[in-house]
Amino acid sequence: MTDKLKKEIVNNYLSLESMLEDYYKSKNYHPQWRYAYKGQNQLLSLLKKYPLISQKELVSLVNMRPQSASEMIGKLEQKGLLRRYPSRSDRRILMIELTDKGRAFSYKIHTEDTIFLNRLTEDEMIHLNQLLNKLLLSGEELLKQNGLNDPFSTS
């Protein structure tokens, strides 16, 4: 029963992910941001979490080569979603923060992402969040056991 239930949960998750993709495509909701540029979305999410961070710190939080991350940061800067400037204390350090446009865009992405939760009660959302946090902790442990880094870890 447990293995069958686990498979059903994974299948349901994959089905939900597919439905979300179909929904975003039907709304012409920037599919290039949603899927093709997951790294840019990841950077925007991290900047939302850390409003002012050095480029070096930001790059250390993502799972990509520093050169690739720097190029991605440059593209986001060209689109007006973030800005880079030298640190006041050490001009060699580049600081990064979201622009107003970047904050608005990041908010829109996260607001759209929650649309499928509207059918859940607050208690159900709390319970689901607790379960997801439990799964995330399990995933972090698995990564550590295999010598891999969690790109979202703050430690």
pLDDT in tens, 60-99: 888 778 898 899 999 999 999 999 999 999 999 999 999 9
The pLDDT score that the predictor gives to residue 98 is: 95
Asked if 120 and 128 count as a contact pair (C-beta separation under 8 A), the reply is yes
pLDDT digits (tens, 9 = 90+) for 105-120: 888 777 766 777 888 8
pLDDT digits (tens, 9 = 90+) for 91-147: 999 999 999 999 988 887 777 667 778 888 999 989 988 998 888 788 778 778 877
Assign a CATH topology to domain 37-119: Arc Repressor Mutant, subunit A (1.10.10)
What 38-41 contacts at long range (C-beta under 8 Å, 24+ apart), as own/partner pairs, is 39/64, 39/68, 39/69, 39/72, 40/72, 40/75, 40/76, 41/109
Cα–Cα distance for residue pair 43/138, rounded to 1 Å: 24
- Specify the 3-state DSSP secondary structure of 102: helix
Tell which residue, 45, 58, 36, has the closest CA to residue 102: 45
What's the predicted TM-score (pTM) here? 0.57
Domain boundaries, the chain: 1-27, 37-119, 121-155
The pLDDT score that the predictor gives to residue 155 is: 47
The pLDDT score that the predictor gives to residue 53 is: 93
Beta-sheet strands, E only, within the chain = 53-54, 82-86, 94-98
Residue 149: pLDDT band (50, 70, 90) is low
The pLDDT score that the predictor gives to residue 65 is: 84
